[in-house]
């Protein structure tokens, strides 16, 4: 069984003060529209209307893999040549599309107008459009906007921008109410249910999740709200919550046994739950997770891993793979390094790790070739070329689509990295399978 070092025995610094490679060059990432793919499943009465080009429509359509007969909860209002040439009034066109959509789909209670590169290029003011349409359709249908544009962003920022746009619409929680806990970040329903049960077992009441499954069930917030981030890419949302008085709880992220334990412990401490009680509730879950993880260590232990910057999950996942799966970290790249939100994670990384922020893809490719790791975590655009050079890869986007948080998902998370390594080994033993 894999021993996990209790959090209080850790060296206090880790790689918090290690030098970071900072790069601002060509990047290989998806844009923020990608977030629609998991968010439209989460908020079940919301609709995401991208105001963009055919490219934007193709990205969403192919990434979401929606069947033609389904009534999806996203679409693209195409900005065509007439709009681009200024021959049509884009606002008028948009109003027509929204009117048609809402008259046909009474199930929609929250509509997001999602900006894109083309809407930004023609300077279409979607915030004014949302205000205008919100006056027309509210309060039955709330209409908000955010940008999913690919200029200067990475794909998980779409969720951040979307949630940050929702925060000003959260009801006010009176200061006379008891403290409550807000869990922030899209989680698959199955994980949310597991977490809700665990908070309940720990005796922590008043736990709400943001975003909620229904837009009509938005959590109230105020100065008595303490919030825990479930995802490491929510800087704008956190800022907006703090402007509303909510207080941030610093914790590692709930990946792996160690991160999940520490995450629950932070909440328990704030809500006055004793350590004995926390241990009593969490121990069976920790044991079960470690037992499920144990067989995967044979594949993962001692393997070198390299992270390209992509999802912003890189640092917490590197911590899990290093400390619980005994993998060796080489370079851990992240598009943005939020020092405050990642402080607890950085303390847990070995100080030998090379952190990098941002990207200059050619330079990074040189480094990965030089290091020749056993597995590379990268975007789809880099995976195939690297595989053809003999490197084993893991698509970073799969980590955002899969349930990977919490105790019950520890082995599944490790399996996502073990599978490509096993596959590579099999191919090395039977190269003819490459042709099958």
Q: Which residues contact 15 (CB under 8 A, 6 or more apart)?
A: 346, 349, 350, 351, 352, 353, 355
**145 counts as binding ligand SF4 under rule CB under 6 A:** no
CB of 116 to ligand SF4, least distance (A): 4
**31 counts as binding ligand SF4 under rule CB under 6 A:** yes
Distance of CA 141 to CAs 100, 134, 205, Å? 14, 7, 31
**116 counts as binding ligand SF4 under rule CB under 6 A:** yes
Site string for ligand SF4, 117-136 (x = CB under 6 A): x-------------------
Distance of CA 420 to CAs 128, 245, 293, 416, 423, Å? 47, 45, 17, 8, 5
Residue span binding ligand SF4 (CB under 6 A) among the ranges 145-153, 182-190, 342-350, 409-417: 145-153
Confirm if 173 and 220 have CB atoms less than 8 A apart.
yes
Confirm if 348 and 14 have CB atoms less than 8 A apart.
yes
Out of 93, 133, 149, 310, the residue judged to bind ligand SF4 by CB under 6 A: 149
Confirm if 391 and 56 have CB atoms less than 8 A apart.
no
Hey, which bits of 268-320 come out as E strands? 304-307
Q: Which residues contact 288 (CB under 8 A, 6 or more apart)?
A: 407, 408
Point out the residue whose Cβ comes nearest to ligand SF4.
150
Chain position carrying tokens 């599309």? 97
CB of 202 to ligand SF4, least distance (A): 41
Site string for ligand SF4, 38-77 (x = CB under 6 A): --------------xx-xx--x------------------
- Contacts with ligand SF4 by CB under 6 A: the residue count is 12
Q: Of 33 and 144, which CB lies nearer to ligand SF4 in the complex structure?
A: 33
Q: Of 117 and 380, which CB lies nearer to ligand SF4 in the complex structure?
A: 117
CB of 219 to ligand SF4, least distance (A): 30
CA 373 to CA 427: how far, in whole Å?
Answer: 17
Out of 15, 27, 29, 33, the residue judged to bind ligand SF4 by CB under 6 A: 33
Q: Of 130 and 267, which CB lies nearer to ligand SF4 in the complex structure?
A: 130
Residues binding ligand SF4 (CB under 6 A): 31, 33, 52-53, 55-56, 59, 116-117, 148-150
């Amino acid at each position: 069984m894999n021993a996990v070092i209790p959090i209080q025995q850790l060296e206090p610094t880790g790689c918090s003060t290690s030098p970071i490679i900072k790069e601002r060059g060509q990047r290989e990432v998806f844009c923020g529209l990608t977030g629609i793919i998991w968010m439209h499943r989460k908020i079940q009465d919301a609709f995401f209307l991208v105001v963009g080009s055919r490219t934007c429509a193709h990205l969403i359509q192919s990434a979401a893999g929606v069947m033609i007969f389904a009534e999806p909860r996203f679409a693209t209002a195409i900005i065509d040549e007439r709009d681009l040439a200024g021959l049509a009034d884009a606002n008028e066109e948009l109003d027509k599309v929204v009117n048609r959509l809402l008259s046909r789909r009474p199930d929609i209670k929250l509509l997001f107008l999602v900006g894109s590169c083309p809407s930004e290029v023609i300077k279409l003011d979607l915030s004014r459009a949302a205000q205008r349409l919100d006056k027309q359709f509210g309060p039955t249908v709330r209409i908000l906007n955010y940008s999913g544009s690919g200029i200067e962003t990475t794909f998980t920022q779409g969720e951040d921008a979307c949630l940050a746009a929702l925060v000003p619409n959260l009801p006010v929680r009176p200061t006379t109410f008891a403290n409550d806990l807000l869990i922030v970040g899209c989680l698959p329903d199955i994980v949310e249910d597991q977490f809700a049960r665990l908070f309940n077992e720990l005796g922590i009441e008043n736990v709400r999740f943001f975003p909620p499954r229904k837009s009509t069930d938005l959590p109230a917030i105020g100065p008595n709200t303490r919030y825990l981030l479930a995802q490491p890419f929510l800087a704008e949302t956190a800022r907006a919550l703090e402007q509303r008085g909510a207080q941030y709880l610093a914790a590692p992220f709930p990946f792996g046994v160690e991160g999940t334990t520490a995450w629950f412990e932070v909440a328990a401490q704030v809500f006055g739950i004793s350590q004995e009680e926390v241990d009593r509730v969490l121990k069976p879950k920790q044991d079960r997770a470690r037992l499920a993880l144990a067989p995967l260590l044979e594949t993962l232990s001692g393997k070198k891993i390299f992270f390209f910057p992509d999802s912003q999950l890189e640092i917490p996942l590197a911590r899990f793979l290093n400390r619980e799966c005994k993998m060796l970290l080489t370079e851990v790249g992240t598009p943005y390094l939020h020092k405050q939100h990642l402080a607890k994670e950085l303390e847990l990384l070995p100080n030998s790790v090379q952190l990098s922020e941002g990207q200059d893809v050619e330079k990074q490719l040189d480094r990965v070739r030089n290091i020749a790791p056993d597995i590379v975590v990268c975007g789809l655009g880099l995976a195939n070329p690297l595989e053809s050079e003999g490197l084993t890869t893991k698509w970073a986007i799969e980590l955002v689509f899969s349930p990977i948080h919490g105790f019950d998902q520890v082995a599944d998370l490790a399996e996502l990295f073990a599978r490509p390594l096993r596959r590579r080994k099999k191919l090395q033993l039977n190269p003819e399978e490459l042709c099958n």
